[in-house]
Amino acid sequence: MANTTMQTVAPASAWLVRVRSSLSVARRVPKIPTAVLLVLMIFALFGQWIAPHSPVAVDMANSFAPPVWHEEGTANNLLGTDKLGRDIFSRLIRGARVSLSLSLFVIALGGGVGVALGLISGYAGGKVDAVMQRGIEVILAMPTILVALVFVFAVGRSFESVILILSPFLAARFARIVRGETLSVRERDFVAIAKVIGTPTWMILLRHILPNVFNTIIVLATLEVGHLILLESSLSFLGVGVPPPQPAWGLMVADGREFLTSAYWITLFPGLCILAAVLSLNLFGDWLRDTLDPRRRQL
């Protein structure tokens, strides 16, 4: 009610309406997933000041200390310690940085390339499109984890090699979806007009098509971060991810496997972190899709 009166009575305050409507969108943000994601981001950014201990400090005298709620647990190691006496809580906090930064690098690299390829492929059409789509299909038809195993075997285990091998797979997924969107935007009137007045192709792609597929890209990126965290932790678990002593969550789960019955906390908490992160990203991404891009419920 209030909104409509304002619109009709005072058009000058249209910005107020816009602020209000974006506020009402903000109020509908899924609260728990957003909170979880914010905490993880704070951990990733400011982890070294929040963590009570160094994530790699070995303290053999204090190995396998149980979490604080056990009888022998102390507040010094809230979530207990692993076989080398390293503080689980501190390692989890630093692990957030490993998982998030790696995923963001892959999104930036693979996603960037994928968006560019998708725009070109969809806009150019014809032979260019056909060749690119066949290439993308070949990449999508390869088993990611196995190819990553072989690649890391070949070039050695490092943060960078994991980014390099995951990026092409992400690029292919981005390219396929952006291409589909581009195909439909290409047929719209404003693109035809831009062409008629002689706008250069790169300008049409950047100024007219990209903004119209941007919502899809944002939604896809959010959902893919979750997917990447799962992939990265699987690789770490298999021993071909980020090298130790960097505290990657997947590696921590693997570390605890031998001590399942005696020290469950080494395995339980890193897994819960992965679950919380990916679940929050999926829920947040779903909400984002319904808000920004209601046509693509199947994504």
Partner 1 sequence: MLKYIGFRIFQALLGLWFIATLVFILSRSIGDPAEVFTARNSGVDAREIMAAKLGLDRPVHEQYLKFLGQLVRLDLGDSVSNGIPVTQILVERMPATFTLGLVALIFALALSLPLGVLGAVYRDSAIDWIAKVLAFLGQSMPPFWSGIMLIILFAVVWEMLPPAGKGGWQSYILPGFTLGWGVMAGMVRLVRSSMMDVLDSDYVAMARAKGLPEAVVIGKHALRNALLPVLTYSSLVLGAFMNGSVVVEQVFAWPGIGTSAVQSVVRRDFPVIQGVVIVFGSFFILINLFVDILYAVIDPRIKYTP
| Position among 39, 109, 282, 287 found at the interface with partner 1 (CB under 8 A) | 282
Give one DSSP letter per residue of 53-92, joined into a string.
S-TT---GGGTTPPPTTSTT--GGGTT-B-TT--BHHHHH
Rg (CA), the chain: 24
Nearer of residues 205 and 269 to partner 1, judged by Cβ: 269
**In terms of CB distance, is 107 or 205 closer to partner 1?**
107
The Cβ of residue 251 has, within 10 Å, a number of other Cβ atoms equal to 25
Report the site for partner 1 in 252-271 (rule: CB under 8 A): 253-254, 257, 260-261, 264, 267-268, 270-271
232, 278 Cβ separation under 8 angstroms: no
Return the sign of the alpha-carbon dihedral for residues 15, 18, 22, 23: positive
CA–CA separation, 256 and 62 (whole Å): 16
Nearer to partner 1, 152 or 217 (CB): 152
Classify residue 151 by burial, with Cβ atoms within 10 Å: 0-12, 13-18, 19+. Answer: middle
* Site for partner 1, residues 206 to 245, rule: CB under 8 A: 226, 230, 233-234, 237-240
Nearer to partner 1 by Cβ, of 161 and 205: the residue is 161
Site for partner 1 in 104-163 (CB under 8 A): 130, 134, 137-138, 141-147, 149-151, 153-154
Stretch that binds partner 1, among 44-52, 67-75, 170-178, 247-255 (CB under 8 A): 247-255
Question: With binding defined as CB under 8 A, does residue 279 bind partner 1?
Answer: yes
**Nearer Cβ to partner 1 (139/210):** 139
3-state helix, strand, coil in the chain (%, to 5): 75, 0, 20
Applying CB under 8 A, which residues contact partner 1?
Answer: 130, 134, 137-138, 141-147, 149-151, 153-154, 226, 230, 233-234, 237-240, 250, 253-254, 257, 260-261, 264, 267-268, 270-271, 274-275, 278-279, 282-283, 297-298
